[in-house]
Amino acid sequence: MSAVTPEQIPDAEPEHPATVKFLSAAFYALCSFLIIIVNKTILTNYRFPSYMFLGIGQMATTIIILYAAKMNKIINFQDFDRSILYKTFPLPLLYVGNHITGLASTKKLSLPMFTILRKFTIIMTMIMESKMLRKTFPNNLVYSVSAIMVGALIAASSDLAFDIEAYTFIILNDLFTAASGVYTKKKLGSEGLGKYGLLYYNACIIIIPTLLAISYTDDLHKVIAFEHWVKSTFIFYFLFSCVMGFVLMYSIILCSHYNSALTTTVVGAIKNVAVAYIGMVVGGDYLFSWLNFVGLNICMAGGLVYSYLTFRSSPAHNRDANRTQEHKGNNVLEDLIERTEKGQAPL
Q: Which distant-in-sequence residues (6+ apart) come within 8 Å of 22 by Cβ?
A: 311
Out of 131-145, 282-296, 333-347, least confident range: 333-347
Number of H helices, E strands in the chain: 14, 0
Cα distance between residue 97 and residue 211, in whole Å: 14
Which is more confident, 7 or 223? Answer: 223
Residues 221-278 pLDDT 10s: 889 999 999 999 999 999 999 999 999 988 888 887 787 777 777 777 667 666 666 6
Contacts (Cβ under 8 Å, ≥6 apart) of 274? 33
pLDDT > 90 fraction of the chain, expressed in percent and rounded: 14
pLDDT at 328: 44
| pLDDT the model gives residue 333 | 42
Distance CA 324, CA 329 (A): 9
User: What value does the mean pLDDT take over residues 12-25?
Assistant: 72
CA atoms 325, 330, 336, 342: torsion sign? negative
Contact 144, 309 (CB under 8 A): yes
Give the model's pLDDT for residue 231. Answer: 92
- Residue 276 near residue 112, CB atoms below 8 Å: yes
Mean pLDDT, rounded, for 268-292: 67
Distance CA 137, CA 333 (A): 26
Compute the CA torsion angle 100, 168, 257, 27 (nearest 10 deg): 80
| pLDDT reported for residue 332 | 42
Tell me the per-residue pLDDT of 196-222, one tens digit each, with 9 for 90 and over. 888 898 888 888 888 888 888 888 888
Per-residue confidence (pLDDT) for residue 329, from 0 to 100: 42
Q: Distance between CA atoms of 181 and 177, rounded to whole angstroms?
A: 6
Per-residue buried b or exposed e for 51-63, using 16+ beta carbons within 10 Å of the residue's own CB? bbbbbbbbbbbbb
pLDDT tens-place string over residues 127-161: 888 888 777 778 887 888 788 778 877 876 766 56
Q: How far apart are CA 19 and CA 316, in angstroms?
A: 15
Average pLDDT, the chain: 76
Q: Decide: 35 and 248 in contact? Cβ < 8 Å.
A: yes
